[in-house]
Chains A and B, each alone.
Chain A
Amino acid sequence: SYELTQPLSVSVALGQTARITCGGNNIGSKNVHWYQQKPGQAPVLVIYRDSNRPSGIPERFSGSNSGNTATLTISRAQAGDEADYYCQVWDSSTAVFGGGTKLTVL
């Protein structure tokens, strides 16, 4: 079965740029979606189909996908960006989630 690998945690200084990676075999050939989940809340879609932002998501959130790695980039990180982030793809009609990355804003 297809697997997605994310770092357990990423730290970023306030106002700096955070990058969260999602590794998978030839993931560049798939559409990658990213979700933000704050404690006690449902996930929220922040990037869809590699690099598209839903309405209401700040321009500070961007995504890229190539080769074996997809990346979620959060520019000018704010305290409110502290959350768990999950990548997700479809493989053989099955949705697959990465294990999640906890983003800490210092």
Chain B
Amino acid sequence: QVQLVQSGAEVKKPGASVKVSCKASGYTFTSYGISWVRQAPGQGLEWMGWISAYNGNTNYAQKLQGRVTMTTDTSTSTAYMELRSLRSDDTAVYYCARVPGLAVAEFDYWGQGTLVTVSS
């Protein structure tokens, strides 16, 4: 069965960086993309970007351009999301989600989420 298992919770200071991992299993990793979505406490879902596991192409939300980098390691079927220059409003649960390769596709499987807390 398809599973996306994310790394554990992180606590970071303002200005630091965080790197969250998302290990996929149960399907051919390179046949799908991975999107990252975050959710601040008590708030809605915010899309952060997408990466093709096939060729590494990326597309980031304009709001995060320059601060976020998404990568994949096809040898371990793992996707990564790094966010730099952290601020208090980056405190959120970060989710990875699988995306079929179509431009209008749904997020059909989600990771369990990783809480990132930014606090001095």
Name A54's closest neighbour in chain B (CB-CB).
B108
Q: Quick one: given A42-B95, A42-B113, A43-B95, are A97 and B106 in contact (CB under 8 Å)?
A: no
Asked if A12 is an interface residue, CB under 8 A from chain B, the answer is no
Q: Quick one: given A42-B113, A43-B45, A99-B44, are A94 and B107 in contact (CB under 8 Å)?
A: no
Q: Which residues in chain A, 79-106, are within 8 Å of chain B measured between CB atoms? A: 86, 88-90, 93-100
Q: Which of A35, A54, A86, A90 sits near B104, CB closer than 8 Å?
A: A90
Interface residues on A, range: 20 to 34
Main secondary structure, interface of A, reads: strand
Q: Which of A30, A33, A49 sits near B107, CB closer than 8 Å?
A: A33
* B111 engages A42 (CB within 8 Å): yes
Nearest-Cβ distance from residue A41 to partner chain B, whole angstroms: 8
* A31 engages B104 (CB within 8 Å): yes
Asked if B54 is an interface residue, CB under 8 A from chain A, the answer is no
* B45 engages A48 (CB within 8 Å): no
CB neighbours of A37 from chain B (8 A): 45
* B106 engages A33 (CB within 8 Å): yes
Q: Which of A42, A49, A88 sits near B110, CB closer than 8 Å?
A: A42
Nearest-Cβ distance from residue B120 to partner chain A, whole angstroms: 26
Question: Chain B residues in contact with chain A, CB under 8 A?
Answer: 35, 37, 44-47, 50, 59, 61-62, 95, 97, 103-113
Question: Chain A residues in contact with chain B, CB under 8 A?
Answer: 30-31, 33, 35, 37, 42-45, 48-49, 54, 86, 88-90, 93-100
Q: Across the A-B interface, give the 10 residue pairs with the lowest CB-CB distance, nearest first.
A: A95-B47, A48-B106, A33-B106, A42-B110, A31-B104, A97-B45, A100-B44, A90-B104, A99-B44, A45-B108
